[in-house]
Amino acid sequence: MAQRVIFHVDANSAFLSWSAAYRVRVLGETEDLRDVPSVVAGDRESRHSIILAKSTPAKKYGIQTGEPLFQAMEKCPTLKVIPPDYGLYVEASRHFVQMLRRFSPVVEQYSIDEAWVDMTGTERLWGTPRTAAEQIRGRIWEELGFTVNVGISSNKLLAKMAGDLEKPNKVHSLFPEEMAEKFWPLPVRDLFLVGAATERKLRLLGIETIGELAQADVSILKKRLGKHGETIWHFANGRNADAVNPEPAENKGYGNSVTTARDVTRREEGQQVLLSLCETVAMRMRRDGKCGSCVSIHLRTNGFEHISHQKILHGATNVTTELYHAACELLDEAWDGYTPLRQLGVQMTRLSQEPYQQFDFFSGMDPRQFERKLRLDETVDALRDRFGEEAIRRGVFAQAPESHMAGGLSKFRRTGVTKPVPME
């Protein structure tokens, strides 16, 4: 039986690289963002303006992904800042995955800019694993205009770790026989699923490197870290039997959140934000043919205290107003009405394929009302899909400065509208 050969392919500084490739190849700009100190970040005036991606020259100034933009500007006053373009990213990601499928039909997309590829048994087509990886790297650069790292191993974990050994634009292998030399000397923080909190706990146990974790007593790790301790012990020993799964996992819930430009201090303001979130959540559910029966809201105060509440509905729905009314009830239960809020979120879980409602005969509610609301929502969805999100909005947002469809997803990913990106 042939040895498994798994690739992990990761676009280098994807958001910035994709923007740079588009500007040079399509718009004809002479300056390549990758050659100057540059970052992708949100609105400079927004409180959630953070660095989403950075160029290699920006990295030399100590600029980190995830840090506030104003801090990055202090490090490099001449920093070039461009806004995120999610439509471009979705289209570039699609081209990226399509390219990988030319080499193998078994591709599992892990995130928008990385994927695993099962290359087992493809040597007659593409040569040795390293030769095949170099072909992938070269083809992506030639046809799509950005660089990638390719990690090679016999399982998904080690392939991902291999791809992180040195960046950018590199090919690395990390097979089990190479672990002692390449893997075990690394700091334990570099291990997949080891975050800052876990690292601190491991350090208290005298564990500094991945190799020390691999040699540790697993019973002690389980006692101190629970099930997670056993998991990362297996990872440190290079054990991972997960197959590359080309089918995306089914969505277990739908949610959106937004950090507001100003603190929310009035009930009416909070309700308006919730309505904008319910618009996007319910629309995505309708598009996927899903309904939900559990609504939850998540609030974060300006003191960074987190509050959450949930409610089980008398049925399953994807009607915007049904979700909104439940969210408003939860807001009244969870919030005192005056502590400033900086972030609000809405989520729908307990999903089903079909809507159902439990109507009270004595309440006088007409079951046909639910059907009319659903048909109205679907009509609004169709209009927005055809003419754009701004084609129709609720009256409450007529003069509102905030978006009437808020949340973490861009309008491109919500509507499926993407600009053509001739990167091939």
Q: Which of 201, 236, 271 is the last residue of a domain?
A: 236
In this predicted structure, which of 18-27, 115-124, 382-391 has the lowest mean pLDDT? Answer: 382-391
What value does the mean pLDDT take over residues 198-216? 95
The 10s digit of each residue's pLDDT in 54-107 is 999 999 999 998 888 989 999 999 999 998 887 788 889 999 999 999 999 999
What value does the mean pLDDT take over residues 400-416? 50
Q: Which of 236, 271, 298 is the last residue of a domain?
A: 236
Kindly state the percentage of the chain with pLDDT values over 70: 83
Angle between helices 367-387 and 267-288 (to 10 degrees): 80
**Contact indicator for 148, 9 with CB cutoff of 8 Å:** yes
Pair 268, 401 in one domain? yes
In this predicted structure, which of 116-120, 247-251, 411-415 has the lowest mean pLDDT? Answer: 411-415
How much is the pLDDT for 45? 60
Q: Which of 29, 31, 74, 114 is catalytic?
A: 114
Pair 259, 406 in one domain? yes
Q: Does residue 280 sit within a domain?
A: yes
How much is the pLDDT for 353? 75
**Contact indicator for 303, 264 with CB cutoff of 8 Å:** no
Q: Global pTM?
A: 0.66
Q: Does residue 339 sit within a domain?
A: yes
How much is the pLDDT for 129? 96
Which domain CATH number covers 369?
Answer: 3.30.1490.100
Pair 201, 323 in one domain? no
Look up residue 348 and give its two tokens.
């729908």
Pair 216, 291 in one domain? no
Angle between helices 227-236 and 218-225 (to 10 degrees): 140
Residue 346, pLDDT > 90, answer: yes
Bigger pLDDT: 424 vs 160: 160
Pair 270, 219 in one domain? no
Pair 315, 354 in one domain? yes
Q: Does residue 107 sit within a domain?
A: no
Phi and psi torsions of 316, nearest 5°: -120, 135
How much is the pLDDT for 246? 83
Place of tokens 């690289």: 17
Q: Does residue 403 sit within a domain?
A: yes
Listed residue (297, 288, 292, 291) closest to 250, CA to CA? 288
Q: How many domains does the chain have?
A: 2
Pair 284, 411 in one domain? yes
Q: Does residue 16 sit within a domain?
A: no
For residue 109, the SS3 value is strand
Mean confidence (pLDDT) of the chain: 85
How much is the pLDDT for 250? 64
How much is the pLDDT for 413? 39
Residue 20, pLDDT > 90, answer: yes
Query: Per-residue b/e over 94-128, b at no fewer than 16 CB within 10 Å?
Result: ebbbebbeebbebbbbeebbbbbbbbbebeeebee
How much is the pLDDT for 43? 65
Pair 261, 345 in one domain? yes
Which domain CATH number covers 232?
Answer: 1.10.150.20
Alpha-carbon radius of gyration of the chain: 24
Close Cβ partners of 253 (under 8 Å, ≥ 6 residues apart):
292, 347, 348, 349, 351
Query: Per-residue b/e over 285-315, b at no fewer than 16 CB within 10 Å?
Result: bbeeebbbbbbbbbbbbeeeeebebeeebeb
How much is the pLDDT for 260? 80
Pair 299, 198 in one domain? no
Q: Does residue 64 sit within a domain?
A: no
The 10s digit of each residue's pLDDT in 273-288 is 999 999 889 888 888 8
Pair 335, 381 in one domain? yes
Residue 416, pLDDT > 70, answer: no
Q: Does residue 80 sit within a domain?
A: no
Pair 206, 351 in one domain? no
Q: Which of 236, 266, 299 is the last residue of a domain?
A: 236
Q: Is 114 a catalytic residue?
A: yes
Look up residue 409 and give its two tokens.
């997803």
Confidence label for 421 from pLDDT (cuts 50, 70 and 90): very low
The 10s digit of each residue's pLDDT in 113-155 is 999 999 999 999 999 999 999 999 999 999 999 999 999 999 9
Q: Does residue 66 sit within a domain?
A: no
Q: How far is CA 408 from the centre of its chain?
A: 9
How much is the pLDDT for 294? 92
Pair 408, 277 in one domain? yes
Expressed as residue numbers, the domain containing 208 is: 184-236
